[in-house]
Amino acid sequence: MTTLHVEHPAHPHNHGPDCGHTRVSHGDHVDYAHDGHLHREHGGHWDECEPGGHVTHDGHEHRHGADCGHPSVLHGDHVDYLHDGHRHAEHDDHWDDH
C-alpha cells in the first residue's frame, strides 16, 4: 500500500507522546489522530498520512463497533479501528486497511 505525501501546512502543534492525540502505529512510523485526519512527521514538517488506493483486509471476520474492544479514531467521514498494528475501516461488505 502506498501512502500519499500531502504536507499539512501551517501546523503549529507538535505531536508527541504527551500531546493528547491518539497515537497510531503505521508501518515504520507513528501517526497522530487530529481533527479527523492523521498526521505524521516527515522531513521537518507534518504530513497528512493517507493511504493511496483501496486495500481490502481479506479474511477479517471480526466486526468492529463501539463495544469491540479496539480503540477507534475519527478519520474524515468515518471511524477507523486500531487492530493488529493497522487501522480498519468498514467499506461496503468488508473491511479496508487504512
DSSP character at residue 70: S
Q: pLDDT tens digits, the chain, 98 residues: what are they?
A: 445 556 666 667 888 889 888 888 877 888 888 777 788 888 888 888 776 667 777 777 788 888 998 888 888 788 888 877 678 888 888 888 77
- Residue 4 has a pLDDT of 53
pTM above 0.75, yes or no: no
Range of the domain at 78: 2-97
In 3D space, the residue among 22, 24, 26 whose CA is nearest the CA of residue 4 turns out to be: 26
In 3D space, the residue among 19, 42, 17 whose CA is nearest the CA of residue 29 turns out to be: 42
Number of domains in the chain: 1
- Residue 2 has a pLDDT of 46
- For residue 76 the three cell numbers come to 474524515
- Residue 8 has a pLDDT of 65
